[in-house]
């Protein structure tokens, strides 16, 4: 009888899809971290067996999966004595730059992750692996799991690392073309992946991005203030266009607007931004504790501003639309493709043409006057709509809901089933 029970359990476990999720960073506080956690949470409805490998530091706790389903890797520890290595050079937490890593550091990094990958292979033996970022760790994953279906997820920052660190790409990122499939943010991004890694374009699937509809949703009733509330929320770094934004905001010279800047700048940017906003009480710099608090903050605002020179998808723009804000953003191809013409024509989002860009995310200085003028025009246009208290139509609200995590996870699950069969 006991043997039959064990046999039935084993058969049931074999039928249930086992998925291993892998990320070298915190499973939170960045676009890839949020994507990682939301995908795992979304898959729970399908009753898959899931386990997760991720980096952490400073006692960070994560509760999307039970402790027994986690393989957390501690940075700033005896084994990994340096902070988490960030896919972006500016991270919302203490980080190490890939460009500053020595051969010894990379060796330690690979050794520690390899050990946990080998342990997960022996203990869990996954059917499918989701490996985030087309970079060093994902290449190592293919090395450790040569016969397992692996889906690489491109977050755009990985392509940037490949461009600015070709010596690392050539030495340690040599198995991306062996992945079974890659999920990209957009059709345009497919071309970059093919160019960088030589993978068959037919193995790349554009899935877009999604927002958490439990966190980002419109208020039951829109509350207007005596001032129009503009908000910027992103990494506080020159690549996000924050300093040009402040200059344009000040040039408006309007008494009935305010600008909130949400983020945690590093010391260098903190000093610079404080100089930019000094003496202007209508500009406020602060941070929020988590995504839930961010959603609450956005529902109190009117217009979200994203004058970024480089974005993979620009998910914050979609989250802001979901909270009922008008949006001003630069022309981000993946975002424009995902949202489509109906959203664009509705006027709830205004796109600003980018200046010429070099080194991936730096604007050509001569182009900035025209860029700032276009940004100014777009901001004024959205300010007028708020003044008129124009709210989104029900059709547009329904369209925005289609970009939620619920919809995205459903699409990913469909692709996942096809990949496993293939």
Residue 23: CATH number of its domain: 3.40.50.2000
Residue 219 covered by a domain: no
pLDDT tens digits for range 278-306: 999 999 999 998 889 999 999 999 999 99
Same domain, 28 and 107: yes
Residue 222 covered by a domain: no
Q: What is the mean pLDDT of residues 184-193?
A: 89
Cβ pair 322, 400 in contact under 8 A: yes
Among 44-53, 278-287, 330-339, the range scoring the smallest mean pLDDT is 330-339
Q: Of the candidates 200, 188, 268, which has an alpha carbon nearest to the alpha carbon of residue 236?
A: 268
Q: Which residues pair with 350 in a beta bridge?
A: 328
Average pLDDT of the chain, as a whole number:
93
Q: Of the candidates 132, 140, 139, 136, which has an alpha carbon nearest to the alpha carbon of residue 114?
A: 140
Q: What percent of the chain has pLDDT over 90?
A: 82
Same domain, 361 and 416: no
pLDDT bucket at 14, cuts 50 / 70 / 90:
low
Structural domain total, the chain? 2
Same domain, 245 and 375: yes
Same domain, 382 and 261: yes
Residue 2 covered by a domain: no
Residue 6 covered by a domain: no
pLDDT tens digits for range 167-185: 999 999 999 999 999 999 8
Residue 1 covered by a domain: no
Same domain, 232 and 168: no
Residue 142 covered by a domain: yes
Same domain, 33 and 107: yes
Same domain, 166 and 314: no
Cβ pair 109, 135 in contact under 8 A: no
pLDDT of residue 10: 45
Same domain, 154 and 17: yes
pLDDT tens digits for range 222-241: 999 999 999 999 989 999 99
pLDDT bucket at 6, cuts 50 / 70 / 90:
very low
Same domain, 45 and 176: yes
Same domain, 312 and 205: no
pLDDT of residue 209: 81
Q: Which of 73-77, 289-293, 412-416 holds the top average pLDDT?
A: 73-77
Among 68-77, 166-175, 204-213, 377-386, the range scoring the smallest mean pLDDT is 204-213
pLDDT tens digits for range 106-145: 999 999 999 999 999 999 999 999 999 999 999 999 999 9
pLDDT of residue 337: 87
pLDDT of residue 56: 98
Residue 138 covered by a domain: yes
pLDDT above 70 for 13: no
Same domain, 41 and 187: yes
User: Residue 113 belongs to what domain range?
Assistant: 12-210+404-421
Residue 91 covered by a domain: yes
Same domain, 249 and 325: yes
Q: Which residue has the higher pLDDT, 337 or 351?
A: 351
Q: How many CB atoms lie within 10 A of CB 341?
A: 8
């Amino acid at each position: 009888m006991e043997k039959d029970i064990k046999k039935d359990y084993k058969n049931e476990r074999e039928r249930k899809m086992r998925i291993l999720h892998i990320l070298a960073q915190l499973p939170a506080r960045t676009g890839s971290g949020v994507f990682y956690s939301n995908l795992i949470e979304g898959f729970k409805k399908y009753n898959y067996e899931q386990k997760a490998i991720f980096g952490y530091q400073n006692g960070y706790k994560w509760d999307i999966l039970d402790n027994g389903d986690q393989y957390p890797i501690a940075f700033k520890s005896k084994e990994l004595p340096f902070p988490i290595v960030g896919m972006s050079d500016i991270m919302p937490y203490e980080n190490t730059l890939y460009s500053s890593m020595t051969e010894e550091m990379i060796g330690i990094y690979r050794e520690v992750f390899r050990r946990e990958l080998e342990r997960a292979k022996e203990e869990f033996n996954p059917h499918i692996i989701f490996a985030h970022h087309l970079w060093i760790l994902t290449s190592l994953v293919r090395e450790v799991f040569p016969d397992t279906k692996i889906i690489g997820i491109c977050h755009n920052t990985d392509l940037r690392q490949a461009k600015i660190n070709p010596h690392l790409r050539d030495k340690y990122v040599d198995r991306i073309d062996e992945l079974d499939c890659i999920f990209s943010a957009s059709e345009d991004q497919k071309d970059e992946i093919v160019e960088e890694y030589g993978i068959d374009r037919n193995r790349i699937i554009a899935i877009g991005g999604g927002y958490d509809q439990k966190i980002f949703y419109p208020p039951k009733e829109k509350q207007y203030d005596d001032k129009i509330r503009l908000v910027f929320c992103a990494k506080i770094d020159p690549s996000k266009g924050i300093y040009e934004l402040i200059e344009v905001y000040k040039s408006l010279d309007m008494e009935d607007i305010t600008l909130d800047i949400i983020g945690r700048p590093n010391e260098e940017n903190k000093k610079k931004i404080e100089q930019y906003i000094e003496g202007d009480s209508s500009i406020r710099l602060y941070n929020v504790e988590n995504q839930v608090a961010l959603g609450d903050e956005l529902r109190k605002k009117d217009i979200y501003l994203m004058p970024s020179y480089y974005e993979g998808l620009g998910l914050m723009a979609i989250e802001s639309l979901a909270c009922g804000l008008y949006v001003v953003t630069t022309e981000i191809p993946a975002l424009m493709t995902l949202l489509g013409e109906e959203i664009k024509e509705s006027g709830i989002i205004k796109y600003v043409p980018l200046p010429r860009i070099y080194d991936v995310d730096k604007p050509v200085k001569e182009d900035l006057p025209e860029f700032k003028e276009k940004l100014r025009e777009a901001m004024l246009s959205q300010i007028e709509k708020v003044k008129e208290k124009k709210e989104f139509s029900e059709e547009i609200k329904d369209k925005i809901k289609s970009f939620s995590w619920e919809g995205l996870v459903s699409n990913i699950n469909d692709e996942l089933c096809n990949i496993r069969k293939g």
